[in-house]
Structure formats: C-alpha cells, structure tokens
C-alpha cells in the first residue's frame, strides 16, 4: 500500500518565501529576507522559521555553506499547484471530481478572459501527447 503524504498547508509568508526563491533560484536567510519587501516587514528569524518549515514540508532543499544554509525550491510552481489541486479534489470527494473541476474552470475564467483559451490549448496538447503514446 502506497503512503500518501499528509496534506500540504502553506501559510501566506511561506508562499511569499517560496515565490521569492522561485525568482531567485536559491538563497540564504539574508537574501530571502532582503527580497521580501526590502526586508522591512518580517524579522530575519521569522523568515528563517518559514524557510525551515518549508524544508520540513519537503518543498525546499537546503545545503550548508559555511555557517548558513542555502535554500532552493525542491518543487516547481506547476508541481506544487498540481499537488494542491489533487489534494483539494481528494478532500471534496475524489469519486466525483467534475463539480470541483467545473469550479476551477469558472475561477480561471473569472481571473483572466483569455484563461479559457489557454486551458483549451493545454487540453489539446495533453490529448495529443496521450495519443502519441
């Protein structure tokens, strides 16, 4: 029996830190702290705690360099989104995913009118890849 990882919950600061690391590629506490609103809103210890939580949650890798850890994203934005969507589908009833997927389409359309065209393009590309297999 395969073990399903526990649901991933990310707070606002954790998401902000992750966004900065996706943009930076990698960084230590000082670099991430400086990148977050010029480093004025959060104390470095708060940023360090967020980095450590993200590492424990399996979202960040870290490597010790001298006296500091250098953190880097372990997952892409797309992989994280896929995991969060899959977990949401499972939580709201995996046996009946269509209402949730329909809600996602409605949400995407409300965000950007071109989103439906992009979703349609992605679906066609996905179907074409499946047919090639």
**Residue 72 pLDDT > 60, yes or no?**
yes
- The CB density around residue 17, as the number of other CB atoms within 10 Å, is 29
At residue 2, does pLDDT exceed 70?
A: no
What CATH topology corresponds to 12-73? Arc Repressor Mutant, subunit A (1.10.10)
Nearest to 33 by CA among 15, 17, 57: 17
- Tokens 């066609």: give the residue: 124
Supply the pLDDT for residue 5. Answer: 59
For 34-62, what is each residue's pLDDT tens digit? 999 765 678 999 999 999 999 999 999 99
The closest alpha carbon to 59, from 33, 12, 21, belongs to: 21
pLDDT at 94: 63
Range name among 22-26, 60-64, 129-133 with the lowest pLDDT average: 129-133
Q: Locate tokens 């900065």: which residue? A: 20
- Tens digits of per-residue pLDDT, 84-123? 888 887 777 767 778 888 888 888 888 887 888 888 999 9
77 near 22, Cβ under 8 Å? yes
The residues spanned by each domain of the chain are 12-73, 77-132
């Amino acid at each position: 029996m395969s073990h399903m990882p526990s649901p991933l919950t990310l707070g606002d600061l954790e998401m902000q830190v992750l966004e900065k690391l996706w943009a930076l590629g990698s960084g230590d506490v000082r670099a991430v702290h400086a990148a977050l609103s010029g480093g004025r809103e959060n104390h470095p210890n708060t940023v360090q705690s967020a980095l450590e939580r993200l590492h424990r949650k399996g979202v960040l890798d870290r490597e010790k360099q001298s006296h500091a850890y250098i953190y880097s994203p372990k997952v892409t934005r797309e992989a994280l989104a896929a995991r969060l969507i899959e977990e949401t589908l499972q939580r709201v009833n995996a046996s009946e995913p269509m209402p949730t997927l329909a809600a996602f389409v409605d949400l995407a359309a409300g965000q950007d009118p071109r989103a439906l065209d992009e979703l349609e393009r992605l679906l066609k590309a996905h179907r074409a890849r499946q047919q090639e297999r």
